[in-house]
Structure 1
């Protein structure tokens, strides 16, 4: 096959077919004049602009979906106060008061009990069965005055139940409750010995509450520091050496 040499001032466009012709030029390759080059550039520019607009639209929709996913259910966090206490913060976006966190020391962890979906037989404290919850629970997050941390409602928010439907985002700004726990004074059982550096590692979660999707059942870890006594020796809770 003979290929006509390009005209002066024209552009030669080289094509490679899917079948890979031996001469490297597809059967449809031809010379392209300046007018057609300009037209092709306009088409290409239009296609690129369209693709960019589509990308922006998709990104905008994805962002909207992420925003809608926020402000629902409950959230639980905890911080180390560096004096062997931990402060827990529960943010409730729902209209339920039945989300309640539990926690345990690292030495008390039992994966079968932590991941259980029902009754697993006899338990060792702090693990126990709670009325209305089929799986084991550890300690509640309890303040020094004996009150417990749970999902609370802002004034004027009607609680779910009694004809009021459950709403995952009844409080879109979240109602925040906090509780500080002294790891040295917990009971049933007494705390384990801290590390040589005076730290305790604890885990916490929210595995109770009316809606599975709104719980936070995956245990979160917190290292609490400052668990030595005032003299600098290690404080082993109820046991002191």
Structure 2
């Protein structure tokens, strides 16, 4: 998302690359070196465009490869069950093709159609008008803010007075998503479905509040709201998911017999 945002090389693209490079440079020890690696120098320029293009192009194939690996592992290990029970008989499973391939292809087509309609008819819904102006390092927009999909992490960076702390909090918020398979060991989903739904609603609400705090530059009440949102966000991953895993109830023999007969 970040590499694709830089590639149009508009005014907001330039400012976004500059802000990202400065944020990376705040990291201790390797910050200065990593910032120069990202930008190709001390400030955004031609080298930045080349590196973002290669990154954007290569990551597309990496994502396709990760999906292929995921499907291969799914075929070998089998899928999980919402009940927490792993079926043992292969005959009780649906084949991946044509059931899931047809479903996923339908979703891909619908999303692609929606994307084409928005970009062709209503591009202002997802594009910043200031980015239609060519990049000019001598001119800084009066109100710099990232696109909506970066706003929660931008808000997390702004509600912390220390720049390094804000970068670590925003980066940690992304890292938490990768750690979910190790944090969520919660057994049977149906046992505490209302609690899960409430916690998930709080997580989504925290992300929205953090985004609003970033949109309002963490001023006034949004500063306190953004800090509370950070606490709720991290509490969901570091406290709630491990607690739920410790409370998971194993299947009894009767439960297994009922599910097998069903």
TM norm structure 1: 0.20
**Bigger radius of gyration:** 1
Structure with greater helix percent: 2
TM norm structure 2: 0.19
Structure with greater strand percent: 1
